[in-house]
Structure 1
Amino acid sequence: MATTTTATVPQKMRAVQIVEYNKPHEIRTIDTPQPKDLRPHEILLKIAVPGLCHSDLEYLAGHMPTKLPVTGSHEGTGTVIATGSDMSSHFKPGDRVLAGKTFGRCGECEICQGPENYRHYCRKRDSMMSVERDGAFQQYLVVDGRESTILPEKMSFATAAPLACAGMTSWRAILQCQLKPGAWIGIVGSGGGLGHLAVQMAKKAKGLNVVGIDARDSGLELTRESGADLVLDARKGVPAMVEEVQKATGSTGVHASIVVSDHITAAPAACAITAFHGRVVQVAVQDKVTISGTMDLIFKDLRLSGSFMASQKETEEMLYAVVEQGIKVENNIFTGLDEVPKAVEMLKKGEYRGKACFIVDEDAVGLRPGDGYV
């Protein structure tokens, strides 16, 4: 049996959906998920603030195995309305929650039984939000309680929404680098939605020295504002960047690099600035990642790995680090689901810095920073 509040859940709700590839999102009326239909591990959220991710453009372009129509956004935050039977001891109605993107892991395979920070990779899991499951650009949403996290008391929904993908992804990539305080890390794409968070997380939460690389004036500016120790313009070319990194690091190079830009030159640049025996973590989704295999991967003995999202416990750690270390989200706050198509076009044209999110539930507690919320 599901546990629910006395709140009335309507039969219909508004949603912003991808109906046809390469066409604008459509605002539609669809059925509302009902508390009585929740499975044991599920929770029902009244969406407060969803976020817009660069990956939403990939879904819109048909680059992912998306089943249409589907509601966009995998960056969801909201208030618990009801819980499945297995989740009643973990969540209660009224809890403020960051929605997990992954859904329905089996809990039995070798990955689910392995280290906690691997479990979200379960091969048998259901599809993720915005692929074959509806995402957070709607008024109510069912999510997997095992992958979702209660927000810190002082964190606003508007700050939290971009962390549901960009924040947790940046955080796990930094953890994968396995660096000690004082080490050097390179972030390629440092002035973007993920990058500016990664710069701050590496610097403030992990005590690392940061080299930020971007190729846009606005991105370079945001990299500086985020606190990078060395800011490099990728338009000057790899040899010039390598020279600057060598000067800053005492001729060694950075100990690890994170690639959060999907530009074809991003991964080669990361390999070039990384020290012998260092690690390069690929985060940006690309059809093909090209590097200089002989000069960098082989002769420098680099470790190349990928990183996807984060586990529930890693996400919880990240949320509290954001609050405690004063990590700031460069956020563009829109009001209402009607603004989503406009913001998508702005994102395509690079007309705002950082991230975008949307106020959906005006009555939610702690919507925006201020009044005790960050």
Structure 2
Amino acid sequence: MAIEIPEKMLAAQVVEFKKPHKIHEIPTPGKDLDENDLLVKVAVASLCHTDGMVTNGAFDTNLPCIASHEGAGTVVKVGSAVQGFKVGDRILCSLTYHRCGICSDCQGPEQDRQYCANVGGYNGVTRNGAFAEYEVVDGRECWVLPENVSFQSAAPLACAGITIWGGLVRAGLKAGEAVAIVGAGGGLGHLGIQFAKALGLIVIAIDARDEGLQLAKDCGADTIVDARNGKDQVVEEVKTVTGGEGAQATLNVSDHETAAATSAAVTRMHGLLIQIAQPENVAVPFHELVFRDIRIHGSLTGSRTEGQKMLDVVSKHKIKVKTTEFNGIKEVPKAIELAHSGKMSGKPVIIIDQQAIEDQKRSEIEMI
């Protein structure tokens, strides 16, 4: 049975760089849906660090653009060529839109397939995203949600989750090995702790905020290190719990100017630093990089197959996504204000489809 779709919807748009979002009604998309696309009624969308970069014009986004690339919702319309989805499915929306499928990245190793030089765009970054009642997404890129994963937990996984998961994939560690996470108490870091524990890794969590350190502890990190004690003390504490060597690999999700240097310093000789954070410059002293043979690997997100593995782990291990909820698109400015205050613990999520959330509550399934 066809679902009635309104002519207009509420959305939060970037209409001018370095200015607040404009929250107003605009035409609902999807009337002429591409054969490979889905129209999704957005249930929850979350705020990401990248949203601030979009607002500041870092990606030369064509304006106006609906913000947020972290969305989850219900399929209401399916393109004629889409397979594996039907109206009514609960899905996690992908960031990527219309990869070419034929370039060296699209045809390359699985962990590189999220890259594409000829990509059609990125939702919420270069094309319209999830801070709206409806969103058009690529049906070849999205995922059906496991039945026990709530919309609130799912939305941050669209970017934060797959980004930190992709970093762990690139680290290539085996169960029993040690990973350090710098910025462990943030939106990406707290997920990384839980993912790493689910994979059998020993987790060393490094953060410089009381809220972040507490969240890292709550998420099960084996060792908690306060970065405010200075690099020398941080390195000493990491060596103490790793037999004097340091972590086999370190994931840096902090954009603080000294974070990359600290990350390299806590990594053992010949070890691997996965740089995920996106500061203007990544600065590592040469004596860490050269004299200790530290390898640095930049990491963005992860492929569709890796995203499915991530969702399976979230469902099986009941990974908890720390969120702060805001009710309705009109509260986007409040979410941004709290995120910029430095007091945010976890991820800010915007509840857009209240009925979908109520339906979850009535389910007999215990939701994550």
**1:65 counterpart SS class:** coil
Query: Deviation digits for residues 60-108 of structure 1, max 9, x if unmatched?
Result: 2223322221111100111111111221x31100011100001111011
Q: Does 1:321 align with 2:321?
A: no
Matched residues in 1 for 2:121 and 2:102: separation? 17
Q: Does 1:188 align with 2:182?
A: yes
- Following TM superposition, by how much is the alpha carbon of 1:223 offset from its aligned partner in structure 2, in angstroms? 1.1
Structure 2 counterpart of 1:339, which letter? E
Matched residues in 1 for 2:17 and 2:343: separation? 22
Aligned to 2:152: 158
Structure 2 counterpart of 1:254, which letter? A
Aligned to 1:6: 2
Q: How many residues align?
A: 366
| 2:218 aligned to which of 222, 225, 246 | 225
**1:163 counterpart SS class:** helix
Matched residues in 2 for 1:284 and 1:351: separation? 19
- Following TM superposition, by how much is the alpha carbon of 1:30 offset from its aligned partner in structure 2, in angstroms? 1.1
**1:275 counterpart SS class:** strand
Structure 1 vs Structure 2 CA RMSD: 1.5
- Following TM superposition, by how much is the alpha carbon of 1:302 offset from its aligned partner in structure 2, in angstroms? 1.5
Alpha carbons 1:47, 1:141 under 8 Å: kept? yes
Q: Which runs of 4+ in 1 moved over 6 A?
A: none
Matched residues in 1 for 2:125 and 2:171: separation? 29
Aligned to 2:283: 290
Aligned to 1:30: 26
Query: Deviation digits for residues 173-192 of structure 1, max 9, x if unmatched?
Result: 01110000010001000000
Unaligned 5+ segments in structure 2 are none
- Following TM superposition, by how much is the alpha carbon of 1:368 offset from its aligned partner in structure 2, in angstroms? 6.2
Matched residues in 2 for 1:261 and 1:174: separation? 16
Aligned to 1:81: 76
Aligned to 1:330: 322
- Following TM superposition, by how much is the alpha carbon of 1:117 offset from its aligned partner in structure 2, in angstroms? 2.5
Structure 1 counterpart of 2:24, which letter? R
**2:250 counterpart SS class:** strand
Q: CA distance change for structure 1 residues 370 and 195 in 2, over 3 Å: closer, same or farther?
A: farther
| 1:121 aligned to which of 115, 122, 137 | 115
Q: Does 1:306 align with 2:298?
A: yes
Alpha carbons 1:49, 1:367 under 8 Å: kept? no
Q: Does 1:268 align with 2:264?
A: no
**1:364 counterpart SS class:** helix
**1:142 counterpart SS class:** strand
| 2:248 aligned to which of 255, 263, 282 | 255
Structure 1 counterpart of 2:27, which letter? D
1:36-47 to structure 2, matched below 5 A, reads 37-47=32-42
**2:271 counterpart SS class:** strand
Give the alignment's TM-score, normalised by structure 1.
Answer: 0.95
Structure 2 counterpart of 1:323, which letter? S
Query: Deviation digits for residues 6-64 of structure 1, max 9, x if unmatched?
Result: 111112111011112222211111111124x1222211111111111122122222233
Matched residues in 2 for 1:163 and 1:9: separation? 27
**1:62 counterpart SS class:** coil
**2:96 counterpart SS class:** coil
**2:274 counterpart SS class:** strand
Alpha carbons 1:185, 1:210 under 8 Å: kept? yes
**1:105 counterpart SS class:** coil
**1:85 counterpart SS class:** coil
- Following TM superposition, by how much is the alpha carbon of 1:371 offset from its aligned partner in structure 2, in angstroms? 4.7
Alpha carbons 1:359, 1:367 under 8 Å: kept? no
Matched residues in 1 for 2:29 and 2:13: separation? 16
**1:121 counterpart SS class:** coil
Q: CA distance change for structure 1 residues 214 and 197 in 2, over 3 Å: closer, same or farther?
A: same
Matched residues in 1 for 2:252 and 2:184: separation? 9
**1:86 counterpart SS class:** coil
**1:143 counterpart SS class:** strand
- Following TM superposition, by how much is the alpha carbon of 1:196 offset from its aligned partner in structure 2, in angstroms? 0.6
- Following TM superposition, by how much is the alpha carbon of 1:217 offset from its aligned partner in structure 2, in angstroms? 1.0
Aligned to 1:348: 340
| 1:244 aligned to which of 216, 232, 237 | 237
Q: Does 1:55 align with 2:50?
A: yes
Aligned to 1:213: 206
Alpha carbons 1:157, 1:368 under 8 Å: kept? no
**1:20 counterpart SS class:** coil
Aligned to 2:61: 66
**2:81 counterpart SS class:** helix
Alpha carbons 2:51, 2:125 under 8 Å: kept? no
Unaligned 5+ segments in structure 1 are none
Q: CA distance change for structure 1 residues 303 and 367 in 2, over 3 Å: closer, same or farther?
A: farther
